[in-house]
Amino acid sequence: MSEQPSSFIERLRTIVGDDGLFSEPQQLRLYMYDGSIDRALPIAVALPRTAEQVAGVVRLCHEEGVFLTPRGAGTGLSGGSIPLCGGVVLSTARMKAVLAVDTENQTVTVQPGLVNLDLTKHVAPLGFQYVPDPSSQGACTIGGNVAENSGGPHTLTGGVTTNHVLELELVLADGERVRIGSPAPDPPGPDFVGVVCGSEGTIAVVTQILCRIVRKTECVRTMLAAFDSCRAASEAVSAVIASGIVPTAMEMMDHPALSAIEAFSHAGYPVDAGAVLLLELEALREEVEDAAPRVVEICRANGASEVRVAQNDEEREALWKGRKKAFGAMGRIGPSYYVQDGVIPRTRLPEVLERVEQAARKVGLRVANVFHAGDGNLHPLILFDDHDPDQAKRAIAAGEEILRACVEAGGSITGEHGVGMEKRDYMVLQFPKATLAAFTAFRDACDPGHTLNPYKLLPSGLGCAEGGKRQKTMAQMQELAERNAAVGDAY
């Protein structure tokens, strides 16, 4: 840095105004966290109101070589919005506007700090919805969703964030403002919007998003099927797909998860079951009425001891209630948990779930599974006691073992939570050297100084060296757990 921090902060203040800057320690402490296990303190938090202000902040950091970490709501589960090397946090909390709704073209223009659920609430009275619905939708932002390419329970047929974004306005690492994509289909040239989705704030700050919205489906039917084991439930998932029916959601909860959820939210789940599947069909009325009994039959044929079909909206909400509060419920069965996000081909579910169980048993910990079975996107929650530093170490070891199992089954280390800082050193498990070199070269080409969200996404050996050494102290793990439980409670 070529100047004293104080004068740097004054220059920041001239860009975002007095009320757009936090630099007091007690304010900064609120920005140390996201939903994962790491933490770090920024030197300042800028809360711009406009894209010009964002560009001003980014340019200043670029010129002065100060690290800058974009931040939405901080619900991320991979440490993405943690200012690992200090520097400035750029929060989009004051950029929450819906700028335009175009029902004819079925699009909405929004600022990045808009909360996901607020977008859906905004268009619901017009008969529309925004499809990607992460379980954190009551808090997470559209900008964060774009940066993580977030999914949710309904992505099986609906796709993830990248499938619902048409155009982006960005501030690049040097402060240049650009627009990519188009309100018209298939613009010529490479799909730049697709490349920026999921880039975790490392190549640009997203300042405006043109989202696709869709009309609400005519008929929704939700059902719950109870099985003896995860294996039986997994086989039912494959059998449903094989029958030619593709439900919009197929969520699985295993026995430990069920007990915790039931104790926490009294959703009325069958606690004796070995595993439960939550299935949702969304289509034309005739189609749902035709498919629903077939799904029930397939579940029964695969050993379901009980199948409940929601008869109305109230019953449907009750069925979802437990699932949506699942992470928060884990506090009932363990002081803390460490969640993984590996993906595997759906047909490998039974064997990989067994390996998950073994990985936890090997280190003497328990694991609960609540996940997007239809996509093969696992969320094993490794339960540990945060007062025992050794358990934390073992939880991390089990996590790594699980990710190895996912990659060996032909899958991925992350399906929706992102690499962030948490999984960057596992990237080598999944990708050959040539791929990692290309990622690094792309990062270098976009942001040669790596000032945007440094030490994220790329393996630490390939990113900028030194400084961002990961620390996993017990205290951090505990805070993480509390925070997760608090966030989880909200949904």
Residues that bind ligand FAD (CB under 6 A): 34-35, 69-77, 80-81, 92, 112, 134-136, 140-141, 143-145, 147-148, 150-152, 200-201, 205-206, 327, 416-417, 453, 484, 487-488
Of residues 277-296, those binding another protein (CB under 8 A):
283-284, 286-287, 289-291
User: Should residue 208 be labelled a site residue for another protein when binding is judged by CB under 8 A?
Assistant: no
For position 218 contacting another protein by CB under 8 A, the verdict is yes
- Least spacing, CB of residue 73 vs ligand FAD, in Å: 4
Task: Report DSSP letters for 229-294, one per residue.
Answer: SHHHHHHHHHHHHHTT---SEEEEEEHHHHHHHHHHH-----TT-SEEEEEEEEE-HHHHHHHHHH
Q: Contact between 195 and another protein (CB under 8 A)?
A: yes
| Nearest distance in Å: CB 301, another protein | 16
Q: Which tokens sit at 18?
A: 């007095």
3-class DSSP string for 118-158? HHHHHHHHHCEECCCCCCCCCCCEHHHHHHHCCCCCCHHHH
Q: Which is nearer to ligand FAD, 56 or 143 (CB)?
A: 143
Helices (H), 45-103: 51-64
d(CA 489, CA 421) in angstroms, rounded, equals 25
Residue 21 contacts residue 32 (beta carbons within 8 Å): no
The nearer residue to another protein, 47 or 180, going by C-beta atoms, is: 180
Name residues whose C-beta falls within 8 Å of residue 403's C-beta, 6 or more positions apart in sequence.
340, 342, 413, 423, 426, 429
The interface region with another protein, picked from 67-75, 117-125, 181-189, 383-391 by CB under 8 A, is 181-189
Q: Is residue 183 close enough to count as binding another protein by CB under 8 A?
A: yes
Which of ligand FAD, another protein, none binds 327 (CB below 5-8 Å, type-dependent)?
Answer: ligand FAD
Q: How far apart are CA 34 and CA 43, in angstroms?
A: 17
Footprint on residues 446-465 left by another protein (CB under 8 A)? 446, 457
> Which range touches another protein (CB under 8 A), out of 135-143, 296-304, 357-365, 409-417?
409-417
By CB under 8 A, what part of segment 340-399 binds another protein?
Answer: 343-347, 372, 375-377
Residue 92 interacting partner from another protein, ligand FAD, none (CB closer than 5 to 8 Å by kind)? ligand FAD
| Interacting residue with another protein among 6, 434, 465, 469 (CB under 8 A) | 434
User: What are the angstrom distances between the C-alpha of 84 and each of 34, 199, 469, 476?
Assistant: 11, 17, 9, 14
If one asks whether residue 180 binds another protein (CB under 8 A), the answer comes out as: yes
Q: How many Å apart are CA 485 and CA 65, to the nearest integer?
A: 36
Which of the listed partners (ligand FAD, another protein, none) does 283 bind, with a CB threshold of 5 to 8 Å by partner kind? another protein
A 10 A CB-CB count for 121 gives: 13
Euclidean distance between CA atoms 455 and 278, whole angstroms: 38
Residue 191 interacts, among ligand FAD, another protein, none and using kind-specific CB cut-offs from 5 to 8 Å, with another protein
Give 149-192 as a DSSP string: T---TTHHHH--GGGGEEEEEEEETTS-EEEEE-SSSS-SS--H
The tokens for 269 are 């789940």
Binding of another protein at residue 124 (CB under 8 A)? no
Which residues 230-259 are close enough to bind another protein by CB under 8 A? 238, 241-242, 244-246
Given the complex with ligand FAD, which of 93 and 219 has the nearer CB atom?
93
CB-nearer residue toward ligand FAD: 80 or 256: 80
When asked if residue 125 is in the footprint of another protein (CB under 8 A), the reply is no
Binding partner of 453, given another protein, ligand FAD, none, CB within 5-8 angstroms per partner class: ligand FAD
Least distance from another protein to the Cβ atom of residue 292, Å: 12
Q: 365 vs 275, 342, 360, CA distance in Å?
A: 19, 19, 5
- Residue 12 binds what, of ligand FAD, another protein, none (CB under 5 to 8 Å, by partner type)? none
CA gap 139, 124 in Å, rounded = 18
96 binds, among ligand FAD, another protein, none (CB under 5 to 8 A by kind): none
Helix or strand or coil: residue 52?
helix
Q: How far is the CB of 30 from another protein (least distance, A)?
A: 26
User: Residue 407 corresponds to which tokens in the numbers above?
Assistant: 């990659």
Give the CA-trace dihedral at 59, 64, 66, 68, to 10 degrees.
Answer: 0
Calculate ∠ Cα 168-340-305, nearest 5°. 110
Query: 274 or 328, CB closer to ligand FAD?
Result: 328
Question: For another protein, which is the closer residue by CB, 25 or 432?
Answer: 432
Q: Which is nearer to another protein, 53 or 129 (by Cβ)? A: 129
Instruction: For Cα atoms 468, 469, 475, give the angle at the middle one, nearest 5 degrees.
Output: 110
- Specify the 3-state DSSP secondary structure of 351: helix
Least Å distance, CB 387 to another protein, is 33
Choosing from 2, 4, 18, 186, the residue that interacts with another protein (CB under 8 A) is 186
Site for another protein contains 444 (CB under 8 A): yes
**Count of chain residues binding another protein (CB under 8 A):** 94
125: partner contacted, choices ligand FAD, another protein, none (Cβ within 5-8 A by kind):
none
